[in-house]
Structure 1
């Protein structure tokens, strides 16, 4: 639901009543992941998507029914060989959709409103909701903060709220959205429960080293993919806002010195476009030791081989060199800066999602790979 937090926060502020349909579980080749949502207000306006179009019409009707009845429902949609043209996912997947009416005076509305406000304001938090369990608990939620405090209640035993908050904080700390199963004893309600934890965390970082024309196109591609993009170059005449208007931040500093001083994590991608040994070697020597998601470096195959020898000469190990994507990008036959940026972005997605980069035509591999959970991204990184 937090993927449409900005729109829903406005609805709450305007006093609208609405029903929100959230993907809570997927199986097979499903187009959207847990947390994806669509909402319908009492006037019939809709925002968001749960399936990329496959079952939107049926979910829209479920939302209208939930608004009329005031009841939360869990519905499964999937492909049927017996009735391939009926409502279902013709891509072959299965999705479970939780439809929750957010009505004036409903117990769920305050915590939903607080979660939407926190996400819209850029506050790190997690929304924890019951997606499987007793009917009276279905859809009930907690808003969990980074310090472990929480608002709301799942409507059962206080110990259940404490357990759910701890589970929510664990996923929030990891920046993940996903499901958590709580056994019968832990639920304190005589039945096992399943919770959906939706984390709102800052966007992942892309740091582009080298203020060249290819970097400008890559900045645009990075923003399209949802990254907070920083451009770093030691030359102030090139590292300017006028040359990189789409960048979130522009840093004039030696690349390795900036990388030493800035914060990175397991979602950060580093793109080295400096194409100059005096910048590349000290930068990559440091970058390849960091626990980041991706390190790529531009250059010809000859440049790549020469750079590897220089890196070995300053103590970079073979294991560390194996992490380097160089020459950077997938083989798309790219020529222009825009085409090159596309090839780099495609490689980053493939690495992040576990794809091969091969053409899907004639292949027998899954279209949707199991990759890291994708939380809703908020705010910015200083």
Structure 2
């Protein structure tokens, strides 16, 4: 739901009533993951998607009903054997969807507004909602910040609220969306409740070194994928706003020096397009010893061999060098800067999410990665997933 924060926050500011349907659990193959949402306002305007089209009509009707009667419901949608065009997921998966009305007199409107406005500002915040349990608690929500402060209530149960806040902060600190089980008294003994947490954290960083034409194309696709994109080059004549209008930051500095000074984490993507040993080697020497989700370097196979030799001479180990994707990108037969940027982006996605890079027609892995290993919670159709 938080991927629609801008629009939903605007709806709240305008005083609209609406209902939001959120995917809270997935099993098998399904087109959308936990957190995907569809929202419908009182005029029938709809935004978002929970299934890529499979069950949108039925979920739309559930939202309209929730707006009319003010009731929160949880529904399960699975494969329709009798008619592939009936309500069901023809891909064979199962979705559990929580449908919650957000009305002016609703108990959780303030918590939702806190989360959405913070997400719009790029602040770290999480929305924790009870998605399995007694009817009077279903859909109740807390807006939780990293410092432990929160908005909302869970039916006047302070012990439960404190326990939910503590669990939610752990997921938020890791930037993860997930589900945990808990008892109504806040303990983990005989858990009767399931709490679904959506975390909103600042976007991951993409740092592009080398202000070349390929970099301009990569900046555009990086923004499309939701990264905060920085371009860095030591040459001020090339690192300009005119050449990179879509970049969030443009830095004129020696690449390795900037990398030492800036913040990176395990979601950061580093793309080295400088194609010059005097920049590449000290930069990669630093990058391969920092936390990052992906580190790639442009160049021919001959360039890569020379770069590898220089990095080994600088003291990098085999384990550190295995993190380097070079030559950068997947083999798509790319020729233009845009096609090359697409090949780099494809490798980034595959690396971050465990993809093989093979055509799906030739791959035997699950189409939707990460769905098979989720552990089910007692009495819940979902499970804890990360």
Whether the 8 Å contact between 1:187 and 1:193 is mirrored in structure 2 is no
| Closer, same or farther: CA 95–312 of 1 in aligned 2, 3 Å | same
| Closer, same or farther: CA 189–17 of 1 in aligned 2, 3 Å | farther
Deviations 1:155-205 (A, max 9, x none): 152100000001111111111111111146536998611111111110000
- TM-score normalised to structure 2 length: 0.93
Secondary structure of residue in 1 paired with 2:238: coil
| Closer, same or farther: CA 188–321 of 1 in aligned 2, 3 Å | closer
> Where does residue 49 of structure 1 map in the other structure?
49
1:319 deviates by 0.8
Whether the 8 Å contact between 1:156 and 1:189 is mirrored in structure 2 is no
Q: Report whether the alignment pairs 1:103 with 2:94.
A: no
Deviations 1:28-80 (A, max 9, x none): 11111111111111111111111111111110000001111110000001113
Whether the 8 Å contact between 1:23 and 1:50 is mirrored in structure 2 is yes
> Where does residue 221 of structure 1 map in the other structure?
221
Alignment of 1:1-382 (within 5 A): 1-155=1-155, 157-183=157-183, 186=186, 192-370=192-370
How much is the aligned-residue C-alpha RMSD, in angstroms?
A: 1.8
CA distance in 1, matches of 2:340, 2:191: 54
Gaps of 5+ in 2: 375-386
Deviations 1:236-282 (A, max 9, x none): 11111101111110000000000000000000000000111100110
- TM-score normalised to structure 1 length: 0.94
| Closer, same or farther: CA 120–189 of 1 in aligned 2, 3 Å | farther
Whether the 8 Å contact between 2:209 and 2:232 is mirrored in structure 1 is yes
Whether the 8 Å contact between 1:206 and 1:269 is mirrored in structure 2 is yes
CA distance in 1, matches of 2:190, 2:249: 52
> Where does residue 377 of structure 1 map in the other structure?
none
Whether the 8 Å contact between 2:183 and 2:190 is mirrored in structure 1 is no
1:289 deviates by 0.8
| Closer, same or farther: CA 191–182 of 1 in aligned 2, 3 Å | closer
| Closer, same or farther: CA 368–191 of 1 in aligned 2, 3 Å | closer
> Where does residue 379 of structure 1 map in the other structure?
none
Secondary structure of residue in 2 paired with 1:361: helix
Q: How many residues align?
A: 373
CA distance in 2, matches of 1:330, 1:362: 16
Secondary structure of residue in 2 paired with 1:51: coil
CA distance in 2, matches of 1:346, 1:15: 41
CA distance in 2, matches of 1:139, 1:98: 8
